[in-house]
Amino acid sequence: MIILTTLNSRYTHSSIGLRYLYANLKELQTDSKIIEFSINDAIQTVAEKLLIHSPEIIGIGVYIWNAKEVSELLHIIKKISPKTKVILGGPEVTHEPFRVNFDEADFIIQGEGDIAFYELCRDIVSNTPVQNRIIKMSLPSLKNIALPYEYYTDDDIQNRYLYVEVSRGCPFECEFCLSSMDEKVRAFDLDAVLAEFEKLWQRGARNFKFVDRTFNLNMLTANKILDFFLAKDPPYFAHFEVIPDHFPASIKEKIKQFPHGALQLEIGIQTLNTQIANNISRQLKLDKIKENIRFLENETEAHIHLDLIVGLPGESIQSFGANLDELVGLSSCEIQIGILKKLSGTFINRHDIEHGMIYSDVPPYDILKNNQLSFNDIQIMKRFARFWDLTYNSGNFKKSAPLLWQESTEVFKSFYDFSAWIYKQTDSTWKISLQRLGELLFSYLKDVKRITPELIASMMLEDMMKLKGRAVPNYLKPYSKNFQTDAKIGTAGFNKRQN
C-alpha cells in the first residue's frame, strides 16, 4: 500500500500535488490511496489513520505552513513503523538548507516529483537499490504528465476549493519568491486541460483556484480560460494570480463581463517604491499598474486582492505607509499586508549584510529586524496587519472603517494609531469577536477621533445590518430608532425626519 498525504492549511483546501502524484503512479495506482488532513488535526491521530493501513510507502507533501507538523509526524511514523518508507516532497524540502529536522525521512525528492515519485516507489516495491537519499529532479516535460483532475472526489467538489493550473513557472525574478527559481514558463495542452475542467463542471464543481503564477502572461491562453467561464451560468468562483501591468483590451472586455462574486484577481504589488523594487529585482510599470487598478475598481465587478510586503530590504515604515496610502486612494479592494519571509533557495539572502536582515529560523521564516525596522517595529506591523484584516479586509466595516482617515490622505498613520490603541485595550490580536471589535471601533471614532456618534452609528448600522436577521448591537441601540432596512432592495439607512 502506498499512501499519499499532506496537512493542508485549512479543511476547505485540497492538494493538487497529491493528485498529480496519484495520477502518474501507473500500475501502482491500484494499491495507492490519498488521505488528506489539516494542520488543525492532532498529529498522533494523523499517524494512527495512516498506519492503520499498514503502508509500505508514505509520501508526504511539505510546505511552509506544515513543516513543523510534518517533522513531528515523521518522527512518530518511524517510531511506530520503522520499516515504512517515508518520502518527502514539496517546496519546503526542494531547497536547502532545511531549517526543520527531516533527518528521519528515508527519501526526499527535490523539484517536481510527478514522475520521480512513481519511479522511486517502483524501485522500492521491486526491491531495486536506490543510490541517493536526496533525489534532485530536472524539470519534467508537461506532455508526459497525466492530469490530476478526475481524482478530485465528489466530497472535494462539494466542500473544497479545487486547485487547477494551465502552466508552471514564472518569467520574473522577484528575489523573495520561490517561483523566481524556475524562470521558464511551461504550458500544459490547453485543450486537454479545458476538457478536464468541463468534466469537473459537469460533476458540479464551481470553485476553481488557479495556481499559475502569471495567469495573464499569455493572452491566447487567458482569453480561452475566461471564455470557458463566461460561457457558464453563474454562480461560480474563479481565482487568478495576475501581473498588474498587463491588461490588454481583449482581457479588459472579458473581465467586465463577469458578474459580481464570480471573479477574484490577486495582484502582487509588494511595493510601489521603484528603488525598493529594483533592490529585489522586481519590475514596476507604475503608470500601467495604477491605470489597471483604476480600471478594475471602476469598470468591473471583480473582487481585487492586492498584496503589500513589510520588511523588504531598504524599505522604511514611511515608504510602506506611502504605498498603503496610494493603494487605498486607487481602490477600495482588499489589501493583504504580509511580512517578508526568507525562503531557502531564494536570492533575498544577498541583502542580509548590507541591510542587516535578521530572520527567524522557524517557519514561516519571517523577518525579525533590519536596518530600517527594529524588532519592535516588526511586531507593531504584524499587529497592524492583523487588525487591518479584521477591520478593513473583512468587509464587515466597509462604510465605517474609512472614518478612521476621514478627510485625510494619511491612511497608514490613521490606522497605525488605531492599531496601537486597540492593542492597548485588548493586549491581543486574536479571539476578538465581531461584536467586541465593532464596539472598540465605535469608541475610538467617538472618543479619540471626536466624530459625532450619530454619523458613526449610521455607517456602522449600514455595515452591520447588511445580513438579514442580525441583531442591533447594544452600543448602537440608542441610535437605531431612525434606522430602517429595506429588505426588498437590500439597502439600509436612516429615515429622513419630517420637520
- Domain over 2-142 is classified CATH 2.40.128.720: no
407 or 328: which carries more pLDDT confidence?
A: 328
**Burial status of residue 181 (CB atoms within 10 A of its CB: 0-12, 13-18, 19 or more):** middle
Q: Is the pTM of this model over 0.85?
A: yes
Domain boundaries, the chain: 2-142, 152-373, 457-494
Hey, what amino acid is at 23? A
302-314: pLDDT as tens digits: 999 999 999 999 9
285 CB neighbour count, 10 Å cutoff: 14
Which pLDDT belongs to residue 137?
A: 85
As a whole number of angstroms, the distance between CA 36 and CA 474 comes to: 43
As a whole number of angstroms, the distance between CA 43 and CA 391 comes to: 33
157 CB neighbour count, 10 Å cutoff: 17
Mean pLDDT of 401-411: 93
119 CB neighbour count, 10 Å cutoff: 17
As a whole number of angstroms, the distance between CA 455 and CA 432 comes to: 24
As a whole number of angstroms, the distance between CA 416 and CA 476 comes to: 25
- Of 28-32, 58-62, 172-176, 317-321, the poorest mean pLDDT is in 172-176
pLDDT at 118 over 70: yes
> Residue 186's beta-bridge partner residues?
168
As a whole number of angstroms, the distance between CA 55 and CA 51 comes to: 6
- Of 222-226, 448-452, 482-486, the poorest mean pLDDT is in 482-486
When pLDDT is cut at 50, 70 and 90, the band that residue 19 belongs to is very high
Question: In whole angstroms, how far apart are CA 476 and each of 47, 460, 479, 494?
Answer: 50, 8, 6, 13
Query: CB within 8 A of 435, min separation 6: which ones?
Result: 473
Best CATH choice for the domain 152-373 from the list 3.20.20.80, 3.80.30.20, 3.90.700.10, 3.40.50.720: 3.80.30.20
24-66: pLDDT as tens digits: 999 999 999 999 999 999 999 999 999 999 999 999 999 999 9
Mean pLDDT of 369-394: 97
User: Cβ distance 216 to 225 under 8 Å?
Assistant: no
When pLDDT is cut at 50, 70 and 90, the band that residue 484 belongs to is low
As a whole number of angstroms, the distance between CA 150 and CA 135 comes to: 28
341-357: pLDDT as tens digits: 998 888 888 999 999 99
As a whole number of angstroms, the distance between CA 222 and CA 166 comes to: 10
Residue 324, phi-psi category: left (phi > 0), alpha (psi -120 to 50), beta (remainder): alpha
As a whole number of angstroms, the distance between CA 176 and CA 352 comes to: 12
Hey, what amino acid is at 71? S
Angle in degrees, CA 352, 339, 411, rounded to 5: 120
Taken in order 435, 436, 437, 442, is the CA torsion positive or negative? positive
As a whole number of angstroms, the distance between CA 258 and CA 275 comes to: 36
Which pLDDT belongs to residue 174?
A: 79
